[in-house]
Structure 1
C-alpha cells in the first residue's frame, strides 16, 4: 500500500549519517542519492516501500508535523531494541523506550519511539514481541 515516505531535513549529511545504520539493520540499502535527497529501499523491487530524506522541494525550511510518525514493522523485539540504540547513538532523541504497551496495544506489541535529529518521529514496532524476543 505505501509506495514511499519522505521526511524533510535541514542537514542532509547529518540525516544520512543518522538513517544509514538504521536501514542497514533493516536490510534496506541506499538506493538513490544526490545533493537534494537520499533514499533507502531495494532499487530492483518496486513492491518494497522506499524511505526518502530530503531538503524540501519548495526551498522553504523543513518543518515537523505534530502527530506525524513513520512506523517500521520489525520481526523481533531485539530488532526494536537495536534500532532504538542505533537511533540514540546517531543523535536521535528518545520518545518512548523499548517495551510492551499492553494498556494501549495489547500484550504482544513491543515498540520504541524516537525522533531523528530534525525532529521527525519514528516508531520501531514488533507485533509479536513475546514470541520473538
Structure 2
C-alpha cells in the first residue's frame, strides 16, 4: 500500500548521518541522493517502500506535523532496542522508551518512539515481541 514516505529536513547532511546507520541496521541501503533529497530502501526491489528525507520543494522551511509518524516494522524486540539506542546516539530524541504497550496495542506489540534531529516522529515496532525477543 505504501510506495514511499517523505519527511522534511533543514539539514540534509545531518539527516543522512542520522538515517544511514538506522537503515543499514534494518538491511536497507541508500537508493537515490542529490543536493535536495536522500532516500533509502532496496535498490534491487522497487516494491519495497522507500523513505526520503528532503528539503521541501516549495523552498519553505521544513516543519513537523503533530500526529504524523512513520513506523518501521522489524522482526524482533531486540532490534527495536538496537534501533532506539542508535537513533538516540545519532542525535535523535526519546519519545517513548522500548517496551510493550498492552493497554493500547495488546500484549505482543513491542515499540519504541523517537524524534529525528528535525523533530519528525518515528517508531520501531515488533508486532510479536514475545515470540521474537
* SS of equivalent residue, structure 1 residue 88: helix
Normalised by the length of structure 2, the TM-score is 0.99
Secondary structure at 2:97's aligned position in 1? strand
Q: Could you tell me which residue of structure 1 aligns to residue 58 of structure 2?
A: 58
Instruction: Give 1:39 deviation, angstroms.
Output: 0.3
Q: What is the alpha-carbon distance in structure 2 between the residues aligned to residue 82 and residue 90 of structure 1? A: 12
**Where does residue 87 of structure 1 map in the other structure?**
87
1:102 maps to: 102
**3-state SS in 2 of match to 1:117:** coil
SS in 1 for 2:32: strand
Map of 1:73 onto structure 2: 73
Q: Please state whether the residue corresponding to 1:19 is helix, strand or coil.
A: helix
Counterpart in the other structure of 1:45: 45
Aligned residues between the structures: 133
* Residue of structure 1 equivalent to 2:17: 17
Structure 1 residues not aligned, in runs of 5+: none
Between the aligned partners of 2:132 and 2:43, the Cα distance in structure 1 is 29
TM-superposed deviation, 1:44: 2.2
Is 1:120 the counterpart of 2:124? The answer is: no
Q: Does 1:2 align with 2:2?
A: yes
**For residues 61-110 of structure 1, what are the alpha-carbon distances to aligned partners after superposition, in whole Å with 9 as ceiling and x for unaligned?**
00000000000101000010000000000000000000000000011000
Q: Secondary structure in 1 aligned to 2:16?
A: helix
Q: Distance in 1 between matches of 2:42 and 2:99?
A: 30
Corresponding residue number in structure 2 for 1:26: 26
Counterparts of 1:102 and 1:128 in 2: how far apart (Å)? 12
Q: CA deviation at 1:15?
A: 0.4
Instruction: Name the CA distance, whole Å, in 2 between partners of 1:49 and 1:90.
Output: 23
